[in-house]
Amino acid sequence: MAIFEKLPGSKVKLTIEVSEESLSLATQEAYLKTRGKYNVPGFRKGKAPRAMIENMYGSLAFFDAAFDIVYPKAYGEAVKEHNVQTVDHPDVSIEQLEPGKPLVFSAVVAVRPEVALGAYKGIEVLKREYNVTDEMVDAAIEAEREKVARYIEAERPVQNGDLVNLDYSGSVDGVKFEGGTAQGQELTIGSNTFIPGFEEQMIGMNAGEEKDINVTFPEDYHAEELKAKAAVFAVKVNGIQVKELPEADDEFAKDISEFETIGELREARRNELLERLKKDAEAERENEAIQKVVDNAQVEIPEVMVERQLDAQVQNVAYRLASQGLSLADYFKYTGISEEAMRNDLRADAHNRVKSQLVIEAISKAEGIEASEAEADAKLREYVERTGGDFDTLKQSLSADDKAYFEDQVIVDKTLAVVMGSVVEVEKENEKAEKPAKAKKPAKKAAAKEEKAEAKDESAE
């Protein structure tokens, strides 16, 4: 039996009783399992009677091992009895341990918090306008030209925008430093790839020309020994190339697309931009509505849930860096940022993500939203189309957790549809509330869903 008590901070206390008989049986079992580690004069290891060991090492010699035997069942039954949804390991304390009496222990544990929902229907959001301008279409066409640009040798001095092949050797106080020398390096002038002032001093140099370039490393440079140091780079220009862009004409349209004229290409890009703007506007509208719903709700979130979300976000940063060939440790080294500082920067967002997930779940329960097998299968098909594989084979291999994942996806989508189905758009001048802060990210499909989807895609790879 167990006594249930609510505590502040989304915690509960379970006071659990274990009968004297159960503890006695567990103590005997513990004796049989652990007697071999006790030395008792006159007996070989493992052969000493229990009473002799307890007399020599104390009456509680086997208690820890016995408690490890009775604890899992007693705690599990108490959690089930009171329908407790734990989110962490409990802090356990012995409350009563006396001969002839039941063992009593308490377990204080963080639990999934209760959410007090506020308004989640009829939410007002700012009406968003989206228009495709000629300048936006021009930029899209320019990007297409850049993709097929070619570089040709230039018979003139270096100008801004040129691609220069160069050798360089850097030194500080006449001493060369690590990473300061290269041959055949390519550099686009004006890209601000090198130290401030370096690229500007190359303008006007000719192919084959050599020159000393004087620069000062930034105060926030990643290499500690070079911060704010004056340096000299001996530079030689090996070659100069100028970018040549194709004319934006009908021939260009034929070369890069299925269209016959530049006019048709521009119209196609205009339609693509319009579709993208519509999707962006819808995402912004949804994020604003969900954030307001989240802000309207009250919930006391256990710190452990925030910490676990932070763990996931830091791990995601590590995955992204690894894809670029950089470790998290190197990132901290180069930027001078510590993991603690990163976690502090992410903490508000992590808290909001956890709250968003809890609020979405609370709405789905309030609305009685469930996922049918057909709906979960449709989500599974989307996943298969995205990652590859065979639908039937994958469905047969799904674990209970995998099935729950796809069901959760459906429930989140249906819950968001409930919220968004009653949203009221208002004109900017009629909007009474302040514009929602961009710092918060409730996540279009809810934070937990986003994290699970990333993990699921990564495991498929």
What is residue 41's three-state secondary structure?
Answer: coil
Separation in Å, CA 452 to CA 61, 406, 415, 416, 447 = 46, 10, 17, 17, 9
DSSP 3-state percent helix, strand, coil across the chain (nearest 5):
50, 20, 30
Q: Identify the CA nearest to 456 among candidates 413, 392, 406, 411.
A: 406
Structure tokens that stand for 113 in this block: 């918090």
What pLDDT digit, counting tens, does each position of 77-106 carry? 999 999 999 999 999 999 999 988 999 999
* Per-residue pLDDT, 129: 87
What is the pTM (predicted TM-score) of this model?
0.72
Structure tokens that stand for 359 in this block: 């609020």
* Per-residue pLDDT, 433: 46
CATH number of this structure's domain 150-244, picked from the four choices 3.20.20.70, 3.10.50.40, 2.40.30.10, 3.30.559.10: 3.10.50.40
Cα radius of gyration (the chain): 33
Say how far apart CA 277 and CA 273 lie, in whole Å: 6
* Per-residue pLDDT, 429: 57
- Cα–chain-centroid distance for residue 321? 12
Say how far apart CA 39 and CA 47 lie, in whole Å: 10
Q: Identify the CA nearest to 371 among candidates 415, 426, 427.
A: 415
Neighbouring C-alpha atoms within 13 Å toward the C-beta of 443: 23
Structure tokens that stand for 214 in this block: 């004087």
Say how far apart CA 153 and CA 138 lie, in whole Å: 28
Say how far apart CA 306 and CA 355 lie, in whole Å: 9
Q: Identify the CA nearest to 103 among candidates 54, 67, 76.
A: 67
Looking at residue 194, what DSSP letter applies? S
* Per-residue pLDDT, 288: 96
Q: Identify the CA nearest to 50 among candidates 69, 64, 29.
A: 29
Non-local CB neighbours of 355 within 8 Å, separated by 6+ positions: 294, 297, 299, 301
Residue located via tokens 């006019």: 263
Residue located via tokens 């936006």: 136
* Per-residue pLDDT, 294: 96
CB atoms within 10 A of CB 118: 13
Q: Identify the CA nearest to 88 among candidates 305, 400, 295.
A: 305
CB of 364 within 8 A of CB of 449?
A: no
* Per-residue pLDDT, 461: 39
Residues of the chain falling short of pLDDT 50? 431-461
Residue located via tokens 């001048």: 429
Structure tokens that stand for 274 in this block: 């319009």
Sign of CA dihedral 142, 146, 151, 154: positive
Provide the β-strand partners of residue 3: 15
Q: Give the CATH fold of the 2-112 domain.
A: Alpha-Beta Plaits (3.30.70)
What pLDDT digit, counting tens, does each position of 9-60 carry? 899 999 999 999 999 999 999 999 999 889 888 888 889 999 999 999 999 9
Please state the length of the chain: 461
Domains of the chain: which residue ranges? 2-112, 150-244, 280-460
Provide the β-strand partners of residue 4: 14
Q: Which CATH architecture has domain 280-460?
A: Orthogonal Bundle (1.10)
Q: Identify the CA nearest to 429 among candidates 129, 127, 121.
A: 127
How buried is residue 428: exposed, middle or buried, by Cβ count under 10 Å (0-12/13-18/19+)?
A: exposed
Looking at residue 155, what DSSP letter applies? S
Say how far apart CA 80 and CA 111 lie, in whole Å: 13
What pLDDT digit, counting tens, does each position of 254-271 carry? 999 999 999 999 999 999
* Per-residue pLDDT, 100: 87
Say how far apart CA 394 and CA 391 lie, in whole Å: 5
| Beta strands 424-426; 124-126: pairing state | parallel
CB of 227 within 8 A of CB of 257?
A: no
